[in-house]
Amino acid sequence: MARIGVAMSGGVDSSVAAALLVEAGHEVVGLTMNLWPAWLPDPDDAFRACCGITAIGDARAVAQRLGIRHYVLNLRAEFERAVIDQFCDEYARGRTPNPCIACNRAIKFSILLRKVRALGLDRLATGHYARIAYDPALDRHLLLRARDAEKDQSYVLFALTQEQLRRLLFPVGEYAKPQIRETARRLGLAVADRPDSQEICFVPRGHYSDLVARRRPEAARPGPILDRAGQQVGTHGGVGAFTVGQRRGLGVAAGRPLYVTGIDPARNAVLVGEARDLLAAEITARQVNWIGGGIPEGPVRVTARIRHGGRETPARAWMDQTGALRVRFDEPQRAAAPGQAVALYGGEVVLGGGVIDDVTPAVRPGEALAAAGALEVSRGR
């Protein structure tokens, strides 16, 4: 029997994770992080954030039902500094951050894991849909995809280390979501049918760009929208409101679909082009982590995922002389953006990943213009 702290968000996944461990005979302690920013109004029933006051009450009720101790940890200041500020900084820099990855890296599997150890507990369990296995031949812990491919969250866990994996448990990773809800109903947990929390937990209403504009006013300054020839085709209301691949909200009448292909904060410009201009042949990533511990000596074949819920694609990955991760796709990928993460897989095993820093387009701007000109000539125009 182990003494296990469970990160209880008030949702059905973490609640069932705690319940499964109780049923297995472990000593379980519920730990709920109060992350909700003090400057935001408390969320209501229409928005039951995983880190709000309502969620704390839900987690406490589940702990009482399971007969386990429950503690609330005030990590508001740490969350604001490591996740919200980082989120706003990245958008102001023209990048597309994933706040879940920042939270996992800086809060859940760093601060919370340290508090678990300080409480004298052996392991930390969460409600993430992923799996951990031990390979005795390699003497390594492996991070695996969840059994439920639709709910798999391994993409946001690429930064986990061997030391962290040794102390982590993902009890729901072996189950499909309907099984988790059915288990919650069987145990009489009130959260059995609670909807999944939304992606950005600290943006309860409105658009994320409203938050960025309030906290980083420089990202809300109007500026030019430039086409691939550098010609101004419109005016935007702030680079913090745009992401690569975006089509809606450009306010540009071009007679053809245009997409955000890049953001240039130095010029305070939003760059637009056609769908083909979104295709990436290769990406360069930093903040790299190889979960197995060893850095490959040369290129390795992998499958790569560049967004949560996105499909994996075959690729070749290697570390260059600067210490950056390079990933070249077998087929160009759409809308890869600086700030996003790339996760690398070998079969069902997560090999590691990094944060995208640069994107090599499949079609260079000059090549695209030349191709367009040749097409016009061929049409006799």
Active-site residue set: 103, 201
With 0-12 / 13-18 / 19 or more C-beta atoms within 10 angstroms meaning exposed / middle / buried, residue 212 is: buried
From 336, 317, 224, select the one nearest 277 (Cα to Cα).
336
Q: Measure the CA–CA gap between 127 and 15, rounded to whole angstroms.
A: 8
Element (H, E) at 372: helix 365-378
Contact in structure between 130 and 144 (CB atoms under 8 Å): yes
How would DSSP label each residue in 63-103? Answer: HHHHT-EEEEEE-HHHHIIIIIHHHHHHHHTT----HHHHH
How would DSSP label each residue in 108-138? Answer: IIIIIHHHHHHTT-SEEE---SEEEEEETTT
Instruction: Report the amino acid identity of residue 173.
Output: G
> What is the sign of the dihedral through the CA atoms of 93, 95, 100 and 105?
negative
Q: Residue 296's CB: how many other CB atoms inside 10 A?
A: 15
Taking the alpha carbons at both ends of the chain, their separation in whole angstroms is: 78
Element (H, E) at 262: strand 259-264
Please list, in sequence order, all residues whose beta carbon lies within 8 angstroms of the beta carbon of residue 137, skipping any fewer than 6 positions away.
Answer: none
Contact in structure between 332 and 281 (CB atoms under 8 Å): yes
From 210, 218, 215, 199, select the one nearest 102 (Cα to Cα).
199
Q: Measure the CA–CA gap between 320 and 288, rounded to whole angstroms.
A: 12
Q: Count Cα neighbours of 141 within 13 Å in the Cβ-side half-sphere.
A: 13
Between the alpha carbon of residue 265 and those of residues 88, 241, 359, the distances in Å are 13, 12, 16
